[in-house]
A and B are shown apart, each in its own frame.
Chain A
Amino acid sequence: MTDVTPRAESGIRKTPTGISGLDEITLGGLPSGRPTLVCGAAGCGKTMVATEFIVRGATQFDEPGVFMMFEEKASDLTVNVRSLGFDLDRLVAEKKVVLDHVHIERSEIEETGEYDLEGLFVRLGYAVDSIGAKRVVLDTVEALFAGLPNHAVLRAELRRLFAWLRDRGLTAIITGERGDGSAITRYGLEEYVADCVILLDQRIHEQLSTRRLRVLKYRGSPHGTNEYPFLIGPQGLSVLPITSLRLDHGAPVERLSTGIARLDELLGGAGVYRGSSLLVSGSPGTGKSSIAAAFMEAACKRGERALLFAYEESPAQILRNMRSVGVDLQPWIGQGLLQIHASRPTLHGLEQHLVLMHEAVRGFGPAVVAVDPISNLSLDRGELEVKPMLMRLIDFLKQQQITTLFTSLTIGNDATSSPEDSQVGVSSLMDTWLLLRNVEFNGERNRTIYVLKSRGTAHSNQVREFVLSDRGIELVDVYLGSDRVLTGTARVSQENQERAAAALRAQDHERRLRQVAGRRRALEAQIAALQAEIAFEADEVTEATALETAQAEATAKSAEQMAARRGAQRSASRKGEGRP
C-alpha cells in the first residue's frame, strides 16, 4: 500500500469520485463499471457521497450521471445540495445529469399475479441512454422493500438490476440503510453488491459528533482499512485520509526566524527549519500565545502568509492583547498576509476541526501556521485519539512544507509531576519543543524558557528568562549561581550586588597597586641615594690614593736629593761609597 495512484497491475480499473480524500483511501476511486454499496445509518451522509460522486463526475471527469432517488424528491435534493455549491438544475439543463425520483406508495398499489420490475430497468435505461451516463446512483433502493409487498420478486429483481448495471459498464453507487446488529444493510443488499462496500458512521463522543468512513471491502484492490473521519463542508465532502502512510516529506535546510532574536540564538542561531513543527508548551500564563504571535509577525515581515487557529480568544482580543506586548498584527491582516480563524474547540469534534484546518490551509496557502492551543482541541479526548489526528495534520502541513507552531497547555505542572509528562504523547511528532515554565521564588513568578529538544539543530541547553513587556518579547540570561537559578527582581538584585562587589574589588585592587608602586618608588630612591654614596666613596678612595702616591714620590725625591747632596760630600772623601 505504497502507491496512491491507480496502477495497471492492480488489475482493476477505477473511477475517481472526485471526493477529496476518498480517492486516496481507495487508491484511485471506485471500481469502474461496477456497483459500490455505500451504507450507513440515517444522517450519515450517504446521499451526500452519492450526490458528490455524480456532480464531480459530470463537472470534473466528463462522466454524465443518473441519480435515481427513492426517498427524496428531485427538487428537495437540488435545494439540499445547493448549499454545497452544487447546481444540479444547471447540470440537468446541460444534459450532464438526470434526476429521477422513483416514488412508490404502498397504499395506492394493489398486487395481483406475477410481475417484475422491468419498468425500473426501462426508466433507468432510458435515463442512462438519454445523456450517455457513465455513473449511476440508486438512493436508497431499499425504499422499494417498503413499497412492494413481494420481497421475493424484489430480491430477484435487485439481483438482476445489479447484474444489469455491470453489463452496461456503469459505475454505480447503491446506498443502503445500516442494519441492526452485525448486518451491514437492513435488507442484505451487500449480498448483491459485493465489489466494494463503504461504511459511513456517525458517532457522538462527549456530545460532539464525528462522521467516519471506512472501506469495508474492495474486491480486487488494496485500500486503506482504517476509519477515516469526514466532513460535509462548504465545498462538499472531505474525507481526512491518513496521509502518513509514508514519511516522505522533504526536509528543507532553510531556517526561519521565530521572531525572537534570542530564541533563534537558542535554536542554534538561526531559528527553526522551514517545514518543521514547533511545540511550545507551558502552564497557564507562561507566554505561549505571545510566542505564537511573534512567530506570525515574523512570517508576515518576511512577506509570507501566516494562518493562526485560535481556540481561546477572539481575533479582536488577540490583536489587543498582543499589542500590549509590542506585537501589532493588525496591519498584516489588512495586507492579507495574516488570517485568524477563531472558534471554540467544542464547536466541532477534533476531526472536524482538522478537516476545517485542511480546508483553511488549502484555501489560504500559508507558509506558517500556528495552532493556539492544540491542548484545547484534545479536550477530554484520549491520547489514543488525539495523536493520530495530530499526526495527520502535521504530515499534511509538512508535505506542504508549512512551518507549524503548536502551543500546548501543560497540566499538572507542580512539584510532583514534570511538565514534560503531560506532552509525551504529541511531543514525538514535533521537531522542536520549547518549554515555558513559571518559576516562583522570592514572592514573584517569572517566566523561563528552554529548548527541550530540537531535531537537527545545535541548540542551547541554557535556561533563559522570558520577559514580556510593552517593548516586546525578550529573552534574558538568567542568573545561574552556584546553587540556584535566579530570575526577575531576584536576578536584578543579584546582578546589582555583583556589580557593587565587583566595583569594590576593583577599587581595592587599584589601591594595592598604588601601594606597591609607592613602595617601589621609595626603594628606588633609596637605591639612588646609596649609589650616590658609593660613587662618593669611590672618589674619596681615588683621591686618597693619588695623594698618597704623590706624597710618596715627593718623599722619595727629596730623599734622593738629600742623598745626592750627602753623596757628593762623601765621594769627595771616600770614593765608591754611599751608593744605594
Chain B
Amino acid sequence: MPAVPPQHMPVSHLFRVLKQTVKGSRGYYLAASLSVLGVSAFSYLIPLVFRFAIDTVIDQRAFSLPFKLKTIPADGPWALWLRDHLWGCGVIMLILAAGQGLFDYCRAWFSATASESFARRLRKRLFNHVNHLPFQTLTQLETGDLIQRCTSDVDTTRQFFESQLIEITRILVMISLAIPVMLFLDPFMTFFATILLPLVIAGSILYFGKVRRSHKKVAESEARLSTVLQEDLTGMRLVKAFSREDFETRRFQSANEDFRDTSLAMMRMVSVYWGGSAFLCMGQICLVLAVGAYRASEGLLSVGTLTVFISYVYMLVWPIRMLGHVLSDAGRAHVSLSRIVEVLEKPVEPSEPDTVRPDIKGAVEFRAVSFAYEKNCPALKDITFSVPAGATVGILGKTGSGKSTLVHLLPRLLEYSGGSILIDGHELRNIAREHIRSAIGTVLQEPFLYSRSIRENIMLADHAEDDEESAEHRLLEAARLADIHRTVQENFQEGYETVIGERGVTLSGGQRQRVAIARALLGTPPILILDDSLSAVDAETDRRIQTALKNRHGQSTTFVISHRISTLSQADLVLVLENGHLTHAAPPDELAAQSGLYQRINDIQSQLQEDLSRADDASMERGSKDSGAP
C-alpha cells in the first residue's frame, strides 16, 4: 500500500466539517461522560467506606464527611451497630461496587453507541459523497487510497471516539475528583501524593513525540524487507533461471537483520520510558507510604486516611501513565480524520435549480464544442456535426485523440466548456443530469460489474414497475441483443442467477462487456454509447451484435468507438478525431475514398493479402510438394 504522508488539519476545522455528522452522537457522549463521572465517584467512595470501617467502626474515631457536611461520632448508633455487625460495611462496599459496575456498563454501552453511530453516519456520508463527485475527480483519485480512507481511517477515528476520548475524560474527571477529597483529608499528604505525577505526564508527552519517529524507522525497515521478499517471489523465475538463490538469500538477510536491529532499538527506547514511568509511579506510591507512616506515627494521620491515600494514588498513577499511549493514538486519529475530511472537501457535482426534462428522441447536434481537462490544454476543439435520431455514429481516432472525452460529454460526465450541444434541440447543459443519464445507455471501456447475479447486473437500471413477466421479457431481449443469452444458458449452471465476481464465477473480458451492453440496452435508451465496448469479443461476435443493434425495434442513436472496419463500415456517419480535432465526418463509403486514418485502416486488408501472397510465392518456388502435408 502506498504510504500517503500524514495530513494535519487544524482540529477546529475538522470539527466544523464534521459538525453535522457528530451532532447525532452528542447526547450519547454526554451520557458516556456522566457515566465516567459516576464510575469515578463510586470508585472513590469505596476507600472512604473502608476508612470509615477502620477508623470509626473499629478504631472508634469520629468520622467527618468531606467539606464538613456532617460528622459521625464514633459512639453514635450507626457506628456502634456496625461494630457488632461488621458485615454491614462489606454490604455497603458491595452496593457501591454495584453502582460503579452499573455506571461502567453504561459507559461502555453509551460510548459504543455514540462512536458506532457516528461511524455509520460518517461512512454513509463518505459513500454518498463519493457517489456525487464529478467524473473527472473520480478518475483522478486512486481507488485503493480512497477505499482505505473510507474504511481503515474511519475505523481509527471510531476507536478514538470509543476509547481514547473517554480515557482522556476519565483522567481529567479522576484528577478533578480526587484532588479536592485528598485536600480535605490532608493537604500536607496531598502535596506528597501528587508531586511526582507531573513528571509522569511530562514523560508521557515526551515519549509520544519520540516514539513516533522511532516507529517510522521501523516501518521503513519493514517496508524494505517486504520489498526484497516481494521482488524475490515475483521474480522467482529469474532467480531460478540464473541460479541466484544464494545471492537472494544474502540480500534478504541484510534486510532481515536490519529490521531486527531497528525493532530492537525501538523497543530499547520504549523500555526506557516504561521503566522510568514504572519507577516514578511506584516511587509515588512508596512516597505516600513513607510520608504517611511518619505523619501517622506523629499522630497526625489515621490508618484509614493513610489507606485512602494509598488507594487514590494507586487509582491515579496507572491511567496517567497510559497517557502517552492515549496521546499517540489520538495523533493517529487526527491524521485519519484529516484524510477523511480531505475527501469530504472535494467539491461534488453542483446542483442545478433550472433544468428541463424534455422527452428525449435522440437527435444530437454538436456546434463548435470544445473541452479542456486543464486550462490551455484543450482535449476537444471546435467539434461540429449533427445526426438525426436513430443514426449510428462510428468514432475513430488514435489513443488520446479525444474519442472517449467526446462521448463522455453526452451523459454530462464531463461538462463542455465552449460551443453548444443540442439534444432534440435542447441545450444539453440545461437538461437535468439524471434525466439525460437515464436516457443514455453507456457502456464504459472497462465495464464494472457488481458482485451479484447476472440477472441483477443487467436489471440494475430497470426502473419500470410492472409485473415479473414483462421484466423477464426485457431481460431476455436485452441479453439476446448483446449476444450473451446463449452463453449464460450454456456456460453457467445457474443461468441468470449465477453470481459474478469475488463471491462467484469470473467472467472473461468479452463476457463482461456483453453483460454491460445488455445492461445498457435494457429499457431501450434513446441514445446508446459503446466506448470501445467490444474490444474483447472476437470480430465475428462483434459483427453479430452490431447487426442485431441495427435491426432491432425502436432504434437508439448509437455512438460506437471502434477500430474495426467491419463495425465502422455499418455506421451512418464516421467521425475521425485527431489531436482533439474532428478531421473527417462522413459516411464510411465516402471516407474509404479519402486519404486519412480511415483509409489507412481500410488498407490493412490489402496489405495482408500482399503479405500472404509473399509467403505463398515463396512456398510455390520451393514447390508445392511439401505444403500439402497432413
**Chains A and B belong together in one complex:** no
A residues neighboring B (CB under 8 Å)? none
B residues neighboring A (CB under 8 Å)? none
